[in-house]
Structure 1
Amino acid sequence: MYIPNFTYTNKTIDNIAEIELVRGIILNAAIKPEINSFLKRNALIKSSHASTAVEGNTLTIAEVNRILDRPEVTENKEEQEVLNYLNVLKGIERYQENGKITEELLLEMNSEITKKTPNGIPHKKHYRNVHVNDANFKKDHIEYRPPSPEHIPRLMEELLKWINNNSTEISPITVAGTAHYELVRIQPFKEGNSRTARALTELILYLRLFDPEKYFPLEQYYEADKKAYLNALNLSFGDPNGLTKWMEYFTDGINVSLSKVRDEISKLINVPVASNNQPTLKKDHIREKQIKMNQIRIITFLHEYGKITLEETQKLLGTTKHESVNQLQKLEELSVIKEKKRKGSIYYILKIRDDQRKKQWKTLFKKGSMNRKK
């Protein structure tokens, strides 16, 4: 059974809490349909450009844009690589079945990503049956050798079981980051492991309702500093604390990426989207910073304990009842948390977890209805 071997460091916890805050701001912005379409297209182009560029593809953003508009005109390996990645992201929903990611669908994703490229798999979809040439690791002074082919089916079966776990208590960020890391570590495919890992990350965040609108081009963070990205992965494989270090880097990347999307939305709608970077008077700035830190502390508490009451909020923040109510209401308005009532008591949970539970019940109900019809 696969169990991730990592620790939530203070840095990772702070990153996840801030990510939840920024995500809530983005998903609650008043975005018109035409801006919504632009943001989705923009993320698609930027993600496809960055994910292939990090591996040496030299096409520009403008050229990727042209391929998206005219996919029938691809003339070389680089254009085909980009087209393949575009097609996977455009149809990301295809690679899941009732909210689950199966081995067959993951192999299908890899096959599409490597289609019509050197070493691609044009027909049979299977894991690699040869040893990985570890020269690429050794040239970077990395003492690591990926698992032998005979171990891959078991490792992938265990990893996918963990990814598909119905528990909503695990943050989508944790699941996506762990899947990305493990897929690159295992190297299950003959070609396209890293691109498949990045596409799998996108799929998990979409399925877990973290990025339901497909606004977030996370790959740009990796492409901005390729060496840092490759080192964050490769240098950690032989380290017992490797996954812990990777999660710090991974959550840094999501935080930066979402902040850029927030700022872009603010410009597009000509309205200042709530941001901690807005110019303010010194006194106001200190006040805003304290509010943000209090909100992050509430979110961190919820990630650790699952729910929080008003009384617990007062103790956590050391503030008055009125101030604690204001903090909770603000997070509710941002769709970060949700009020729940049970047996006369009121408490708050992370909204994304509630949404995930509802989605799971809908899936189970749908499957049950289909079974009854049969």
Structure 2
Amino acid sequence: MTQDSFFETLELQYKNNLPFVVYSRPINSVIKCWLQEDDALHTTSDFNESGFVFSPFDLNNKSILLPETHCQHFTIDALDIDLDDEFTSSSIENNGEEAHIHLVEKGIDTIKNGLLEKVVLSRKVEKSLVDSNPITIFKRLFNTYKNAMVYCWYHPKVGLWLGATPELLFKVESRRLTTISLAGTQSYAENSEVSWTTKEYEEQQIVTDYITKQIEPHADVIKVSEVETVRAGNLLHLKTYIHSQIKPESSLSSIIEALHPTPAVCGFPKEASKHFILKNESYNREYYTGFLGELNLKVSKTRNTNRRNVENNAYAVVKKHSNFYVNLRCMQLKNGKALIYVGGGITKDSISQNEWEETVNKTKTIANVLS
């Protein structure tokens, strides 16, 4: 399939108001799309099905499933996508400074009172769109953010979401579990030396310790990597890999329950910070800081690397793979507007004005692809 026919097929699906997802994982230059054959709304709560899952921040609400068996699948290789349009990236008016600072200060007070260690507080920014074609915006996202899970997801009964998230929630290959701890944010500046504060290292360590503790009942042989600095667009983060082996008696849904939402998007302790968010943020996050990705897809690998030995090649090992990304750096398109979601982690040492500035910087990630 050519690049042109791939996107023409996708445009037709959207024009016909039928569900789809188009996405590219950061591990390769492959773009995949799933086109659901009708507009039925499928959901999952036990994550036993195979398909593409789109889950909310609050798992008391249902996760949306594009079932593998109800979808057509297409894949293309692309290092870059040809863009028809010349566009100037947009600026975003960041209103609501006073309200966000007030929210952050309330969070800091709650932490100082000993009720929380960390809470992630966010806001929603509205931007009117000149060009609201989601396929065009997806193309720009793909060309701009190579180290992210870039996606455009649509269901006529749910909504239209796009994003470029750098954060893996976790992936499972057979029983092997990989997750990452990602926290701390600063702007990327070319040729300047990167330095992190104690506050940022502590924030990242909270996430790492939390993840390790959460997966302990479900996994064996937990290995934690060194902390490294990674770049996502015009931002830098601190990152640690955590590898382990899932116990035979543990299910995928138990891992999801243990890890989602992480302190990187919710806070710590989990239930107390989630309660604070739902009570005080004054808007519904919906799928922002939820997760999305491939669910229980079968991948076949031959045991024998010698192609001539056809007999042994018949004995392929079929393994199930799942990979979920946290829905960050995302927006919802609605009524000719982009609703952009941004937030930041609050600890006892946070300075409310700095936290406001961090959310302003994060809106620039999305502004880069909006004309």
Which structure carries more strand by proportion? 2
Between structure 1 and structure 2, the one with the greater Rg is 1
TM-score of the alignment, normalized to the shorter chain, above 0.5: no
Which of 1 and 2 has higher RCO (CA within 8 Å, sep 6+)? 2
Which structure carries more helix by proportion? 1
TM-score, structure 2 normalization: 0.25
